[in-house]
Structure 1
Amino acid sequence: MRVVEPRRYIFGLTGYPLGHSMSPVIHKALFEISGIDASYVMVETPPEELGDSFRKSLSAMRGFNVTIPHKINIIRYLDELSPRAKLFGAVNTVDVGEDNIVGHNTDCAGFLSALQMADIELGGNVLLLGSGGVARMIAFEAILAEADLTIAVRESGIPSAEKIKKEIKEKLNKDCKVISLSEATGGYDLVINGTPVGMYPHMDACPVSKDVVATSKAAFDVIYNPQETVFLKYAREAGIKYSGGLSMLVWQAAVAQEIWNGVKFSNEDIAKVIEITQKELEKNE
């Protein structure tokens, strides 16, 4: 990786509430690897105070991350959006330059890098479980990769899944299929859990049957705590390729730092940060 000349920068995360975020741990480790002398601060900002926070502190930083509930509302304060941020209509990373302030979305860059690191191809027949914010972006990436996409959701999630399908048709002129989770079968090239089912502390749950996972060629879970969900346990036991959300979480932070500081990270770098982050997660359990 290319290491830039060390300089003192201030970066941060804004959202509300922030709770216990892994971002400071991840970014600190990434700064150390790249030789950047920087600090990463938490700026908890209620929705009604976003404008004041942006003017007083956020815009004075070199860059910052954005989480719920500000990913859409932050856009009004920015000068420009990257192509992916424009496509998704959401920003999670802001680069504060001397002349303009640009919004980016690195969530799916993190997803794509995590797949690459696990040698998993995004293509063929893809089954996506869920229709929330992360699942929506993954759906777009799957379509952009020319995958044959099926979105499977609970009955209550059918309207939001149909909304994603409509968006894909309007923005990309492509189609996908929407089914209920009970209709999901196996045999996919890639099955992706884009739901919170199986996340700590409800770690015994899985959104689909073991057969759906085990008969697919690869599996990906956006959940990062626990590192191995029941969903991924099924994949490991079946001997198929798999990857979890911790890799995605670290990669989206790494891509943000690449935008901010012009550095590049290797798979080996990311593996080190994943190990550090996992140890920190275990401390907090």
Structure 2
Amino acid sequence: MEKAREIIIANRTLEKAKKLAKEVEEKTGVKTHACSIDKKVLKEKIKEGEILINCTSVGMYPDINSTLVEKNMLKSDLVVMDIVYNPLETRLLKEAKKVGAKIINGVEMLVYQGAEALKIWGIEPDIELMRQVVLKELKQ
């Protein structure tokens, strides 16, 4: 498996982004840059990128119409993941789908985090069952 050539970390606070970028680069050996969450900067970085992961709560219920990334910033050859799991399809994911990008919702992150927690306690998780339960509960 190839590793990333470069990682860009955007944060509301540039200093926090720089700190996280330094830590990521030290642990992965991948060149990592920091930037602020400025629409012009984000659009430029997304244009150059292949994968976009929203790791904020922006767009999570009840604030479902919010997004940091507008549709005109997205492209069809992008993979877009939003770690928000409620709603299953955030505004970001809906807009990414409209431009033809591959989308991944936050259920996967939620399920795999839970699975890792179970493994710590010596329990072998049933990933598919966990996914089904999460989806069932979110639909209620």
TM-score (norm 2): 0.78
Q: Which residue of 2 aligns with 1:146?
A: 4
Select the structure of larger CA radius of gyration. 1
SS in 2 for 1:281: helix
Deviations 1:257-276 (A, max 9, x none): 344346364xxx52x43332
Matched residue type, 2:108? S
Equivalence map 1:109-120=2 (5 Å):
none
Question: How far is 1:168 from its partner?
Answer: 3.2
Runs of 4+ in 1 over 6 A off after TM superposition: none
Q: Which residue of 2 aligns with 1:225?
A: 86
Q: Which residue of 1 aligns with 2:131?
A: 274
Matched residue type, 2:57? P
**Alpha-carbon distance change, 166 to 229 in structure 1, aligned in 2, over 3 angstroms:** same
Deviations 1:165-202 (A, max 9, x none): 23234445543122223211233211111111111100
**Alpha-carbon distance change, 216 to 208 in structure 1, aligned in 2, over 3 angstroms:** farther
Query: 1 CA distance for matches of 2:76 and 2:36?
Result: 19
Query: 1 CA distance for matches of 2:86 and 2:132?
Result: 13
Matched residue type, 1:146? A
1:164 corresponds, among 20, 26, 46, to 20
| Identical residues among aligned pairs (%) | 32
Aligned length: 135
Question: How far is 1:231 from its partner?
Answer: 0.7
**Alpha-carbon distance change, 247 to 173 in structure 1, aligned in 2, over 3 angstroms:** closer
Q: CA RMSD in A?
A: 2.5
1:240 aligns with 2:108: no
Matched residue type, 2:72? D
Query: 1 CA distance for matches of 2:50 and 2:67?
Result: 19
